[in-house]
Chains A and B, each alone.
Chain A
Amino acid sequence: MLNDSFRFTPHITLEFKIGEKDFFIAGESASRVKKTLQQLGMKQDIIKRTAIIIYEAAMNVAIHANHGTLKVYIDPEVISIITEDEGPGIPDIELAMKEGYSTASHEVREMGFGAGMGLPNIKQCSDELDIDTKVGVGTTLKAKICLNNKN
């Protein structure tokens, strides 16, 4: 369900399915989008920020949710990154946005994930961030990078 500020005609759409504990897809999808942006001649800063958002958002789905999708829309003015998942939801978004706060399992943390840096990293790299979550149902994250204001 996209709200008005996210409604536009995408020129390029990339879509990935993310399974539970499917960590590899995060790197894979971010690499694929990165390559596409490089081919489009996007600026380094834009590519870097997009890749970080995709990696962290996809990783959040892989770590916390049962399954989900990642969609990336690239159009002349904006890159939109949207993850939708079925999962536990986020009970306290303010807390989840705090650097270092994590609900990831011990096992996941031992692998170097779940450092509590995901959402803060996403926020830092986004021009707009919108998180819609329902406990016990799932989470939709929408991040936007504007292509004509920064740099």
Chain B
Amino acid sequence: MTLGELSETLGFEILTGDTNLKREIKSGYVSDLLSDVIANIEPDSVWITIQRHINILGVAKLKDVAAIIIPRNLQLDKEVIEKAKEENIAILRDSRSAFEISGLIYNALKKGM
């Protein structure tokens, strides 16, 4: 399933335009501890986190994360969104909690496989 399909199915808000929408998503990870993400996120994943400072992009870039998903409609600085586009990382947002979002993505990926 591509990021675009996933996003459309679950109604996520896309903050970074076309970035990575055609990229295939295989897995996801939920964590706000950057060391945990660095050590454990799998390739071709979406990363659900409430961290919104610019350094999350360093982690995402290093781990080749397809998209960062921000729960509870939390606000992001424009600077972070612009930098994400530059670094080819998508940022999506949703009103639901990290718990709900991860459940929905898990099921969508399971069905899509």
Q: Is A121 a contact partner of B55 (Cβ separation < 8 A)? A: no
Number of chain B residues close to chain A: CB under 8 A: 18
Q: Among the listed A23, A30, A31, A117, which residue makes an inter-chain contact with B36, where contact means beta carbons less than 8 Å apart? A: A117
Write the chain B residue with the least CB distance to A116.
Answer: B35
B61 close to chain A: CB less than 8 A: yes
Write the chain A residue with the least CB distance to B43.
Answer: A44
CB-based A-B contact count at 8 angstroms: 59
Q: Is A115 a contact partner of B36 (Cβ separation < 8 A)? A: yes
CA distance A124 to B35 in the complex (A): 13
Known: A52-B39, A121-B39. A28 touches B34 (CB 8 A): no
A contact residues vs B (CB 8 Å cutoff): 23-24, 26-28, 30-31, 34, 51-52, 55-56, 59, 111-113, 115, 117-118, 121, 124
B contact residues vs A (CB 8 Å cutoff): 32-36, 38-39, 49, 51, 53-59, 61-62
